[in-house]
Amino acid sequence: MKILDCPIEGLKVIQLDVHGDSRGFFIERFQVKRFSEAGLPHIFLQDNHSRSVAHTLRGLHYQYGPPQGKLVGVARGTVWDVAVDIRPHSPTFGKHHAVELTAENGMLLWIPPGFAHGFCVLGEEPADLLYKVTSVYNAAGEGGIRFDDPELDIPWPVRNALYSPRDQNLQSFAEYKKSPPVWGA
């Protein structure tokens, strides 16, 4: 396992060891001791599985109450996964970082609290996104920012994306900046 720092403080790419042959492959996705020894979060309270059809775009979502970090990976298909720094006092506030995650590349993305998360499905097959989270889901403590916000200027690599009415009607980044949540409230 290799841990790679991203240009935005706190984000990490975890490159897992992929053991493959003509029959397929095996990946150890998570082990408490190895993550702990590497200084990575290792206590997760919920596992989530999201399946999305080709060309789906989801996000940008975050949870502030209680704050939620995510360890994201793909078990099927390919996604372009994006994290946006929404910590108001961060030097990279409003900046994003993206990573291509596939079923075969053995990469995970650690997204700490204080980031909005989104992804789009690349290719023509569905994608299964698996993610562990550091706190349980709380609808009263979640929020979102429009995926196509011009100020964020995220170059989504999918055309004619499928997205939900909810995601289309999220607040702008300018609205978020007027009244950001109190993280941990």
Predicted model pTM: 0.94
Phi-psi region of 106 (alpha: psi -120 to 50; beta: other; left: phi over 0): left
Q: pLDDT digit of tens for each residue in the chain (185 aa)?
A: 999 999 999 999 999 888 889 998 888 888 889 889 988 888 999 999 999 999 999 999 999 999 999 999 999 999 999 999 999 999 999 999 999 999 889 899 999 999 999 999 999 999 999 999 999 999 999 999 999 999 999 999 999 999 999 999 999 999 999 999 987 54
Out of 62, 64, 117, 131, the active site residue is: 131
26-15-27 Cα angle (round to 5)? 10
Name the CA radius of gyration of the chain, rounded.
Answer: 16
Out of 61, 96, 97, 117, the active site residue is: 61
How far apart (Å, rounded) are the C-alpha atoms in residues 178 and 153?
19
Q: How crowded is the C-beta side of 96, counted as CA atoms within 13 Å?
A: 25
pLDDT at res. 46: 95
**Is residue 131 flagged as an active site residue?**
yes
**Is residue 19 flagged as an active site residue?**
no
